[in-house]
Amino acid sequence: MAFNPNQSTLAACLENIRSIQKAGGIEPGRIMTSKSKSVRSVADRLAVKNIPDGFTKEMLPLYFDGPTTLYISSGAPHAVVPSHSHDEGPGIRIMISGSIHYKDMELTAGDWMYVPAGEKYEFTVGARGATMCYCYACCCA
């Protein structure tokens, strides 16, 4: 297949995300993860078909408005991130390796977690540690 990533506009993509959020009952102002029931219910609509052969791609059912900052973080086994919030803007954590435990979910490599601005959360690193990539619409340095 010929690969052309320029088949849609940003505005059309954002409208598609809003449509998917509505279909899944996804509330953008709430914490969600790749394992949330609402996200799993629309998984088929998140699969991207316009990709090169040999790849899979999944769109996340969220977006940021404005500038962002990126980080890579590693946590020691059983380290605890206490309850806190990022009040300036939302963030997304993508698991690279290891795991974290958030509520009743274990997020492992390839999973993600979206946290809206001002929403308090906490998590514990799994027994083998964790490496994560963060993208925030705020500064967390």
Over residues 40-54, the mean pLDDT reads 88
Q: pLDDT tens digits, residue range 18-42?
A: 999 999 999 988 999 999 999 999 9
Above 60 in pLDDT, residue 141? no
Model confidence, pTM: 0.84
Over residues 125-134, the mean pLDDT reads 96
Adjacent-strand bridge partners of 25: none
pLDDT-derived band at 67 (thresholds 50, 70, 90) equals: confident
Which CATH number is 69-136 given? 2.60.120.10
- The confidence score (pLDDT) of residue 3 equals 67
Strand ranges (DSSP E) for 2-140? 32-33, 69-75, 80-84, 91-102, 105-108, 112-115, 121-136
Q: pLDDT tens digits, residue range 68-117?
A: 889 999 999 999 999 999 898 899 999 999 999 999 999 999 999 999 99
- The confidence score (pLDDT) of residue 32 equals 95
Which residues of the chain does CATH 2.60.120.10 include?
A: 69-136
Residues in the chain: 141
* 19-22, Cβ contacts within 8 angstroms, sequence gap of 24 or more: 20/45, 20/46, 20/59, 20/61, 21/61, 21/62
Over residues 38-61, the mean pLDDT reads 88
